[in-house]
Structure formats: C-alpha cells, structure tokens
Amino acid sequence: MLKKCSRCGSEMTIMLRNVVYRRSVKIYNVPVHVCGDYECSHSQVVEIIKEDLKQLMKELGPAPSQQEIEFEQISELSHLLVYVADQSETNQETAVRTVVENRVNELLDLFLLAQSLGDERWCTEIRNRLVQIV
Ligand SMILES: [Zn+2]
C-alpha cells in the first residue's frame, strides 16, 4: 500500500482524515495518502476506498442533512486502518500487513461457511469485502 507522491516522488504515508462533504456531512476516518515531504504535503484519497466514498456520496445525494458518518462502518479498509491506528505498534507497516492477513483469513473462513450453507447473498457480500483488501 506504499505509494510515491505524484508531485515530488517522496514516500507517502496513510493517515485517517476527517472529511466534510457539502458542508453538512462529517465523514470520520477516511484513509488518505499524505506526502512525507513537508513542503509538498500533497494528499489524496487512497485509491481502493474511492469506490466506497463515491457510493456513500451518491447515497447522501446533492443536499444531505447535517450528520456524522464513521467511514470505517462502510469501508473494510478504513475499518482495518482504524484498528491499526488504535494499536500502539512501533512498526505500523508490519501491523497493517498482519491485520490484513488475519482479516483475509477470517473472511475466507466465513466465505467457506457461507458456501457450504449455499447462501449466495452472503457469499457475494463476503467476496465484495475481500476484493476491497486483497
Ligand atoms: Zn510530494
């Protein structure tokens, strides 16, 4: 998930930002890549959560009412990153990888269960979650 800045080429780190949409919706914990170069400090939304964000904005519509949304309730990746941020790990890169691996294993177990039960809808839901993180 490491990425180089498109402007200056420095390493970017992932941070969780709060985003305000249409001045009325506060969206908490949106994963954003931020350039490590202080002068540049270019930031952009993490690619793989863009679809979740777009979907959310579509649901909110053009004139949403005042509300607060926790993005990790919607986005699998955001959920994982919030979890990692809560850990006081010195090596967050390792923490991210471990957490993702654990989550993938967990989802695969669920997938096998859903499959053995012949629950198509559940299978699809789990598959969508997996696609977000692998
Ligand atoms: Zn930069």
- Token output for 14: 């992932």
pLDDT digits (tens, 9 = 90+) for 8-46: 999 888 888 898 888 899 999 898 888 989 899 898 888
> How many angstroms does the Cα of residue 132 sit away from the middle of ligand 1?
26
Secondary structure of residue 16 in the 3-state scheme = strand
> How many angstroms does the Cα of residue 40 sit away from the middle of ligand 1?
5
Backbone φ and ψ for 66, nearest 5 degrees, come out as -60, 125
> How many angstroms does the Cα of residue 19 sit away from the middle of ligand 1?
20
pLDDT digits (tens, 9 = 90+) for 89-120: 566 667 777 777 888 888 888 888 888 888 89
